[in-house]
Homo-oligomer: A and B are copies of this chain.
C-alpha cells in the first residue's frame, strides 16, 4: 500500500518537529507549524494510516505521535536531504584540524571535533593496520636479551612491542635482523605479512634462527592478531542531553557498550567507500544499543579507506545535520592524511 505525497510530508513534519521539540506531536500543532494546506482532521486520517503502517506510534492514547525506528528509516532514506554545513561549521573543522602534529593528534582532534559539532558521542577508529602497509621496522636493543620492536605504518600509525629473546644476542645480529625484516616486509600490506614472516624464519641463518623465531611470533601477534585496531572516543557527556528521555531512562547499557572496543569497531569499522551508514535503533545488532542510532562512514587519503569514524546518539537525532557533519569531517581528515 503506497503512501501518497501528503502522507510522506506529514511523516517528515512529524520527524522534524519531534526531533526539535522532543515531544509527541499532534495534528493541530502540525498544521500550524507546517504549510500542509489541509485541516487537522485530514492530517489525523493520514496519521492513522502512518501508524497502521508502523511509521509512527502513540506513546499514550491521548498523546501525539512519535516516529518509530521504521519511520526514521523512511525519513532518512527518502524524505531528507543532507543539510549543507554552515560556514561556521566549516571554519570550525578547518581551524580544529590544522596544526595537528602527528597521527595521535589528528585522531584526538577529530574525535573531539566530531563530538562538539554533532553534540553526540563521537568515535574514531585509528587507521586500520589491516589496511596499512609497513613503512619501516626498527629494532632497538634494550638489553642483551630484550629488543623493542617498533613498526611504522604508511598511515602514520606506530606500534611497539617488547621482544624477549631466548638467548643474549650481539649487536651486529640485531643489525642483521633489522635489515632482514625490513628487506622482506617493508612495503607489504600487514594483512599479507604472515607468509612473509614465515619465510623470514625459514630463510634465516642458524645463528639468527632462535632470535628470528621469537621475533616472528611477536611480529605476527602484534601486527596481525592482537589489539590491532585502536579507537578514540569523546563526548560521552552528550549522552545526558535531553534529560533521561532518550535511551529509555538508563545510560548504563550505552556506557557499557562504549567501553567495548570490539563493539565500537563493529559499529564504525566496517566502512565501505564513500557510503555513509546509518543504523537506527533496532537495526543495530548490539543489544545494548537498541535505543541508539549510529551514523558512520569511512575515511582515508583520496578514495582509499583506512578507517571508520562516526557518532552515536538517540534515535531522535538530527539525521540530515549529523550525516552532513560526519561526512564533512571524514573528508577533511582524509585530505589531512593525504598530505602525509
Q: Report which A residues bind B (CB closer than 8 A).
A: 101-102, 135-136, 138, 140, 142, 148, 150, 152, 156, 158, 160-162, 221, 226, 234-237, 239-240, 244, 250-252, 255-256, 258-259, 340
A239–B221 CA distance with the chains assembled, in angstroms: 35
In the assembled complex, which residues on chain B have CB atoms less than 8 Å from the CB atom of A250?
240
In the assembled complex, which residues on chain B have CB atoms less than 8 Å from the CB atom of A221?
101
A270–B328 CA distance with the chains assembled, in angstroms: 40
Nearest chain-B residue to A250 (Cβ)?
B240
| Number of copies of chain A assembled together | 2
Is the Cβ of B234 less than 8 Å from the Cβ of A252? Answer: no
Is the Cβ of B236 less than 8 Å from the Cβ of A240? Answer: no
13 A–B contacts from the bound complex (CB under 8 Å) = A101-B162, A102-B161, A102-B162, A136-B142, A140-B152, A148-B152, A152-B160, A236-B255, A236-B259, A237-B256, A237-B259, A240-B251, A240-B252
Nearest chain-B residue to A230 (Cβ)?
B104
In the assembled complex, which residues on chain B have CB atoms less than 8 Å from the CB atom of A148?
136, 152, 158
Nearest chain-B residue to A235 (Cβ)?
B259
Is the Cβ of B135 less than 8 Å from the Cβ of A138? Answer: no
Nearest chain-B residue to A226 (Cβ)?
B101
A138–B140 CA distance with the chains assembled, in angstroms: 8
In the assembled complex, which residues on chain B have CB atoms less than 8 Å from the CB atom of A140?
136, 138, 150, 152
Nearest chain-B residue to A148 (Cβ)?
B152
**A253 → B minimal CB distance (Å):** 8
In the assembled complex, which residues on chain B have CB atoms less than 8 Å from the CB atom of A162?
101-102, 156, 340
Instruction: From the candidates B102, B152, B234, B251, name the one contacting A251 in the complex (CB within 8 A).
Output: B251
Is the Cβ of A150 less than 8 Å from the Cβ of B161? Answer: no
Instruction: From the candidates B135, B237, B340, name the one contacting A252 in the complex (CB within 8 A).
Output: B237
Nearest chain-B residue to A239 (Cβ)?
B255
Other than A136-B148, A148-B152, A158-B158, give 7 A-B pairs with Cβ distance below 8 A.
A101-B162, A136-B142, A142-B152, A236-B236, A237-B259, A239-B255, A240-B255
A124–B337 CA distance with the chains assembled, in angstroms: 31
Q: Answer whether A101 and B255 are a contact pair too, CB < 8 Å, given A136-B148, A250-B240.
A: no
In the assembled complex, which residues on chain B have CB atoms less than 8 Å from the CB atom of A102?
160-162
Which of A160, A250, A340 counts the most chain B CB atoms within 10 A?
A160
A236–B233 CA distance with the chains assembled, in angstroms: 13
